[in-house]
Amino acid sequence: MEHLIPEEWFVGLHWSILMGMSAVLLFVLMTGADWLVKGASGLAFRMGLPKVIVGATIVSLGTTAPECAVSVMAAWNGEAGLALGNAVGSIIADTGLIFGLGCLLVALPADRYLLSRQGWVQFGSAVLLAGICYWQFWQNGSGAQIGREIGILFLCLLGCYLAISVKWSRQHPHPEIAFDADDIGAEHLAEMEVLEGESGERRAGNRSNLMSMKLVGYIVAGLIVVVFSSHCLIHSVAELARQFHVPQVVIAATLVAFGTSLPELVVGLTSLRRGHPELLVGNVIGADVLNVLFVIGASAFAKPLPIVDPTAKLPEIFLYIHLPAMLLILFLFRIFIVSASSTGHFKRPMGVPMVVIYLGYVLVQYFV
């Protein structure tokens, strides 16, 4: 992405141009997210998969692409702090900001059968990352790092997670088949009923394959638009911040982690608007898992990631601030899942502490 659309293209542009560009990019980003949610919800209906699983796998793989691209390039260029901080910061942004805002807007559904399993994978992967980091620091001190062998382990666990997610969805006792008149799945159902009555099973089967390709096309096009537009939007907003003399530390603490989580935020809010809140919940959980197994795994595989940054004023900031904040917010989310299992939905007040923790995390970084 950085080679296709370099940051230098945005440097020096007048602030009015940057503001207009940001507005257009935001509209394009929302359009791409709309395509992505439309295709994912239709695909979920056709395959009989719960939407929370589609959000945790297909959608999350796409929306986590910016984090992976930023972190892998940072690791390759020797900027391990950016790679680790971006991944962990994105987990905090996904769970604290995106899930928190979603909770405040609507009563998000909670599927006990799936969330109890996916939620444990989410929490377990974060604990595994934290345990490895603290163990490496205890053993090696300032020389602690996440090596390539750990990156390979994370990537192998990623493959297992994706495979078992599909298996769990097939074992779901009551997969939701809910849709509205605006869903591609509903349109497909109506078309299939007419075709089966008029032209028989063969023609219906051909049309079914065509509709499946259309749904996949929506997902692919949506992912491409979301990734490219979010990349451009990050650069334009960052240049605006520099022109208005916003300190670089503020940009680093907010725009990098928030910017790479922007696709998850837009897709989540779009899924609420289109009546598919399950996609938001699944996307948050899946993105958290992928930020550990996919983003950090791929980054460590590209180049070992030092955990301690000797150039920082607080070298152990990743261990003292980032990891504890991540564990705190995921532990709270774990409690909310248990509580919501009895009612079938997350209560709106649950979003308040999530957003507060996220804002506190950003402020603590600034003051440190």
Q: Quick check: is 259 in a domain?
A: yes
Q: Quick check: is 110 in a domain?
A: yes
Element spanning 125, H or E: helix 112-140
| Secondary structure (3-state) at 259 | helix
Task: Specify the DSSP class assigned to residue 348.
Answer: G
Q: What is the pLDDT of residue 224?
A: 82
Alpha-carbon 343 to chain mean position: 26
Task: Specify the DSSP class assigned to residue 95.
Answer: I
Number of domains in the chain: 1
Are 223 and 236 in contact, with CB atoms under 8 Å apart?
no
In tens, the pLDDT along 17-38 reads 887 887 787 778 767 766 776 7
Are 101 and 284 in contact, with CB atoms under 8 Å apart?
no
Q: Quick check: is 4 in a domain?
A: no
Report which of residues 218 and 244 the model is more confident about. 218
SS3 content of the chain, % helix, strand, coil (to 5): 80, 0, 15
Q: Quick check: is 2 in a domain?
A: no
Task: Specify the DSSP class assigned to residue 64.
Answer: T
In percent, the amount of the chain with pLDDT more than 70 equals 67
67 — pLDDT class (breaks 50, 70, 90): low
What is the b/e burial string over 169-197, where b = at least 16 CB atoms within 10 angstroms of the residue's CB? beebeebbeebeeebbbeebeeebeebee
Q: Quick check: is 1 in a domain?
A: no
Q: Quick check: is 3 in a domain?
A: no
How large is the average pLDDT for residues 166-175? 63
Burial class for 167, CB neighbours closer than 10 Å (0-12, 13-18, 19+): exposed
Q: Quick check: is 134 in a domain?
A: yes
Mean pLDDT of the chain: 76
In tens, the pLDDT along 136-145 reads 999 988 888 8
Give bridge partners of residue 109 from the DSSP assignment: 345
Give me 221's structure tokens: 């096009």
Domain containing 87: what range? 9-367
Q: What is the pLDDT of residue 177?
A: 41
Contacts (Cβ under 8 Å, ≥6 apart) of 52: 111, 114, 115, 118, 278, 279, 281, 282, 285
Which of 290, 315, 270, 341 is CA-nearest to residue 143?
A: 315
Which of 94, 111, 98 is CA-nearest to residue 50?
A: 111
299/293 Cα distance (integer angstroms): 10
Neighbours of 308 (CB within 10 A): 21
What is the b/e burial string over 237-272, where b = at least 16 CB atoms within 10 angstroms of the residue's CB? bbbbbeeeeeeeeeebbbbbbbbbbbbbbbbbbbbb
Q: Quick check: is 340 in a domain?
A: yes
Which of 73, 97, 96 is CA-nearest to residue 86?
A: 73
Give bridge partners of residue 305 from the DSSP assignment: 146
Are 226 and 32 in contact, with CB atoms under 8 Å apart?
yes
Stretch among 133-142, 217-226, 227-236, 287-296 having the lowest mean pLDDT = 227-236
How large is the average pLDDT for residues 93-121? 85
> CATH number of the domain that 262 lies in?
1.20.1420.30
